[in-house]
Amino acid sequence: MTTDVSAAPGAPSCSTPGPVAAPAPWGRVTLVGAGPGDAELLTLKAARVLASARVVLYDNLVSPEVLAHVPVDAERIYVGKKSSNHTLPQEGIIELMVRLAQQGKSLVRLKGGDPYIFGRGGEEAEALAAAGIACDTIPGISAAQGAAAAVGIPLTHRDHAGMLVLATGHLQGEGEARTVELDWEALARPRQTVVIYMGIGTLGVICSKLIEHGLSPDTPAALIERATWPQQRSIFGTLQTLPALSVEHQVSPPALIMIGDTVALHARIGVGAALGGGA
Ligand SMILES: C[S@@+](CC[C@H](N)C(=O)[O-])C[C@H]1O[C@@H](n2cnc3c(N)ncnc32)[C@H](O)[C@@H]1O
């Protein structure tokens, strides 16, 4: 009897007659969006996949409540990343996923928020595809959406913002030349909401560049720290006042910066307690 293993991705074709055991088929990877923190914001599909997971690789921003959906006897591998302190470098995470899948293990790659929004999910999916590993993606609620709903900031609004911009405030480049490389003119346009991820360390630069490029210093701006977690904090101010408020309240990652007239609507919609001056 000839066993046709050609369906196993990447497995060698085999025509040897006789009782040769077929290599175990490769496992598949499911990239799962864990949402911003509150486990009730998981999609039904994500919760179902987590409940039957056998191996889970998870990040720093996955909350304990979300992780509690994984069976207690499943293998949990922490590959967490804090911006400069990677437990495993990105290449190492990809290598580990490929190795596990080639051993026949199907795994869940659990990532904070949405895997394809500043989550390097695209790089991982590309690398898995190149290695011939099957990969599915389950979207998650991104931090911007979780934070906006949690504090009452509509990200778009017919009267105030017809565009939503998600940007990273992460420093680019090396050493002394490190800077925030953003399209300041585009970010300083009126009638849009700008949400900046990973921008707490560069908040001062971001606010002054936006003012330099034409936004009023009085433009409403907010910081939302650990949105949807029990420790959530929100601070409201303006482009001018936000950097000092951030220092005063010792805001630390994970946090988002939200900018635009929609931010002021929180005062009318208002949910949760806010710190700082009103916008
Ligand atoms: C590597 S990015 C991951 C974003 C994630 N994929 C998403 O869709 O939300 C990490 C950044 O997302 C933001 N972030 C993630 N979770 C957050 C939360 N619960 N509250 C506020 N900001 C959060 C912070 O700016 C943090 O530095």
Burial of 143 (0-12, 13-18, 19+ CB in 10 A): buried
In the residue annotation, 59 being an active-site residue is answered as yes
Return the amino acid letter for 106: S
pLDDT of amino acid 82 = 59
What is the rounded CA–CA span in Å between residue 148 and residue 168?
Answer: 17
Q: What is the pLDDT of residues 217-252, one digit of tens each?
A: 999 999 999 999 999 999 999 999 999 999 999 999
3-state secondary structure (DSSP) of residue 132: coil
- Kindly list the averaged pLDDT for each block of 10 residues, start to end, along the chain of length 279: 40 53 86 98 98 96 97 95 65 95 96 96 96 97 98 97 96 73 94 97 94 98 98 97 98 98 93 54
The pair of three-digit structure tokens given for residue 80, joined into one six-digit string: 């967490």
pLDDT of amino acid 187 = 97
Half-sphere exposure of 70 (CA within 13 A, CB side): 23
DSSP annotation of 216 reads: -
Mutate to test the pocket of ligand 1, among 81, 116, 118 (most ligand atoms within 8 A of CB): 118
What is the rounded CA–CA span in Å between residue 40 and residue 48?
Answer: 13
Q: In terms of Cα–Cα distance, which of 161, 155, 136, 134 is closest to 227?
A: 155
pLDDT of amino acid 172 = 76
What is the rounded CA–CA span in Å between residue 14 and residue 23?
Answer: 10
The pair of three-digit structure tokens given for residue 147, joined into one six-digit string: 């934070």
Angle at CA 261, nearest 5°, toward 256 and 265? 85
3-state secondary structure (DSSP) of residue 207: helix
User: Which amino acids bring their CB within 6 angstroms of ligand 1?
Assistant: 36-37, 61, 111-114, 117-119, 142-143, 147, 197-198, 224, 226-229, 253-256
Distances (CA, A) of 110 to 22, 164, 233, 271: 31, 26, 25, 29
Mutate to test the pocket of ligand 1, among 171, 197, 229, 233 (most ligand atoms within 8 A of CB): 197
The full set of domains in the chain, from first to last, is 29-138 (3.40.1010.10), 143-269 (3.30.950.10)
pLDDT of amino acid 179 = 74
